[in-house]
Amino acid sequence: MFANIPFEIQVEITKRTPVKSLIRFRSVSKRWKSVINSSEFISAHSVNQTQQHHLLVRYKVDFKEKYVMIVDDDSFPNLKFSPPRSPTVELKESLVVLNYYADDAVCDVWVMLKNAFTKLSTVKVNESDGRSPILLPLRISPIHPEVQTSDIGIEMSANIPFEIQLEIIKRVVPVKSLIRFRSLVTRVLMLDSSHGLVCLYGFAPDIAPRNKSIVVWNPSIRKSVCIVLPYKYDVVGFGVCPKTSDPTIVTITCPSQIHAVDRKAEVFTLSSRAWRSISMNLHMPLKSIEFRYNQVVIDGVIHWIAIDSLTGCSDMIISFDLASEEFGEIDLPGSLAHLRNLYISKLKESLAVLHYDGYEEVCDVWMMTKNGDMKSSFAKLFTVSFEAYYGCILNNITGFRKNGEPIREHRCDGFLLTTLEAYEPSTKLRTDLGVYVTSDSPCMMTTSYTESLLLLHHSDSIIR
């Protein structure tokens, strides 16, 4: 910095500096280190809109999680690189097997942990279905060659695409059982990003074999914190509180499937390292209302799509304000209400709703006109075509660039090769991002984030 520039102005200029440069600046002097390390500076830097945008792509190759960061600027997509280090705690996809016996009206739930199958529970199912005894395989990820399944008499169908397996399950397993098993049949999820922090959600067998965990990760400074969830929840949300810059986790659970009023919510903040109960101030009379797993956090508010588990249709969005810790409801417009296959995403820092039509093979993209307004309207922006197999979606929109272009999967070569591409809706121009996965289940996920210093004062740790 020039000596004739007041120090206060130097600090304001520095707030617009990339993270890597700030880490080096901390070595210039004790004064600069004190400034950059201060919570006020870190908070101001995390909300600065001039920071460089990145796309973080997660995919799977040879049973291993891979990450690629792509700089989302004028050089897109030429400037891309892998993070120098993944999160300290690795979340892994869990192989879940449902062994259903109609004669006894029970279903055994097995999960693969540390290359061995462990029986989690035996669940009673509907006795009036009259089905023949079956062995139902469910492959969340391909079995490692060292894992032996002959002891439990299960033949894994490794060549059946995951989407087709789900369709088989819907037709064979009773609805009540599906509700119980849905929390087990999950992959490692990249929930969302907030203020430069990326949230991963799944099992960490080496840390907590029977409980799921959250990993809060800052790819820019290569720091992460793992939080082991104490219970099994119906939905988990993540975001950074805009007032305190405190990473926050919110969970919702329904101990009873009989009364919707039994739903309970808890909040965990990284500063307190503790859980506490909060009021679930929602009027949701239907006990069948559930939350879809994917979330979007915008302006300090987490959003989820609410669906009726009996019909699979959606008619509202549930929100949670991280500052006031209050829940809210956003009604979907008539053109979107009561539809299946609705998902939400973030588009230009606004809430977007995606409607997939597996038979027409199109996805309509809608955007909310006013964030945080419970009576806000939605406007249809464009339609993206994709491929489907008997109505099952094979080409998902995984996210959006900062200019609004959707990022989508493209499957080719008999669905064995999956690539990632940016799609320009008006010209239909496709830009290959150079990410190639040869797998029938690539598990591609994308999130957008800006650089920040959050977690700078936190060592890589595990919170139980």
- Per-residue model confidence (pLDDT) at position 153: 27
Residues above pLDDT 90, as percent of the chain: 23
pTM of structure: 0.77
Decide if 215 is inside a domain.
no
Is position 457 within any domain? no
Alpha helices in 173-316 (DSSP H): 175-181
Q: Give the domain range for residue 26.
A: 7-37
Taking the C-alpha atoms of residue 364 and residue 345, their distance in angstroms, rounded to an integer, is 12
98-114 pLDDT tens trace: 665 556 666 666 665 55
In this prediction, residue 175 carries a pLDDT of 46
Q: Which of the 8 DSSP states describes residue 141? A: S
Residues 315 and 382 in one domain: yes
Domain closes at, from 149, 181, 213: 181
pLDDT score for 347: 94
Both 260 and 348 in one domain: the answer is: yes
Indicate the residue among 162, 181, 200 that finishes a domain.
181
409 pLDDT above the threshold of 50: yes
Query: Do 130 and 107 share a structural domain?
Result: yes
Query: 26 to each of 12, 14, 181, 237, 293, how far by Cα in Å?
Result: 16, 11, 50, 33, 40
Q: Phi, psi at residue 15, to the nearest 5°? A: -65, -15
Q: Give me the amino acid identity at 463.
A: I
Rounded to an integer, what distance in angstroms lies between the CA atom of residue 365 and that of residue 362?
Answer: 10
- 209 in a structural domain: no
Q: Say yes or no to pLDDT of 32 above 60.
A: yes
Angle between the N-to-C axes of helices 30-37 and 7-14, in degrees from 0 to 180, rounded to the nearest 10: 50
Q: Tell me the residue type at 25.
A: F
Residues facing 385 on adjacent strands: 362
Q: What is the CATH number of the domain that holds 292?
A: 2.120.10
Note whether 316 and 398 are same-domain residues: yes
> At 98, which amino acid appears?
L
Q: Number of structural domains, the chain?
A: 3
Q: Is 307 within the bounds of a domain? A: yes
CA–CA separation, 229 and 267 (whole Å): 11
Claim to verify: residue 338 and residue 410 sit in the same structural domain? yes
The reply to whether 166 falls in a domain is yes
Q: Is the pLDDT of residue 273 over 60?
A: yes
86, part of any domain: no
Pair (358, 257) in one structural domain: yes
pLDDT tens for 112-146 read 555 566 666 666 654 443 333 333 333 222 222 22
Domain shared by 261 and 345, yes or no: yes
Of the candidates 293, 96, 104, which has an alpha carbon nearest to the alpha carbon of residue 210?
96
Is 390 a member of any domain? yes
- Do 294 and 432 lie in one domain? The reply is yes
Same domain, 74 and 101: no
| Domain end call among 159, 181, 203 | 181
Tell me if 369 sits within 8 A of 378, measured CB to CB. Answer: yes
| For residue 392, pLDDT beyond 80 | no
Interhelix angle 30-37/39-46, rounded to 10 degrees, is 60
Is residue 453 scored above 90 in pLDDT? Answer: yes
Looking at the fold, whether 147 and 286 belong to one and the same domain comes out as: no
What is the rounded distance in angstroms from the CA atom of residue 196 to the CA atom of residue 455? 10
Per-residue pLDDT reduced to its tens digit, 153-209: 223 334 444 444 445 444 444 444 444 343 333 467 889 999 999 999 887 767 776
Residue-level pLDDT at 78: 81
Greater confidence (387 vs 302) lies with 302
Q: At residue 275, does pLDDT exceed 90?
A: yes
Same domain, 433 and 305: yes
What pLDDT, on the 0 to 100 scale, is given for residue 366? 94
CA 306 to CA 342: how far, in whole Å? 10
Structural domain includes residue 267: yes
In this prediction, residue 152 carries a pLDDT of 27
pLDDT mean over 245-251? 95
Local confidence band at 222 (pLDDT 50, 70, 90 cut-offs): confident
**Residue 183, pLDDT score:** 35
What is the C-alpha to C-alpha distance for residues 107 and 185, in angstroms, rounded to an integer? 14
Residues 396 and 387 sit within 8 Å (Cβ to Cβ): no
pLDDT at 89: 74
Q: Are 341 and 442 members of one domain?
A: yes
CB crowding 230-257: b at 16 or more within 10 Å, else e: eeebbbbbbbbbbeebbbbbbbbbbeee
The pLDDT of residue 199 is 93
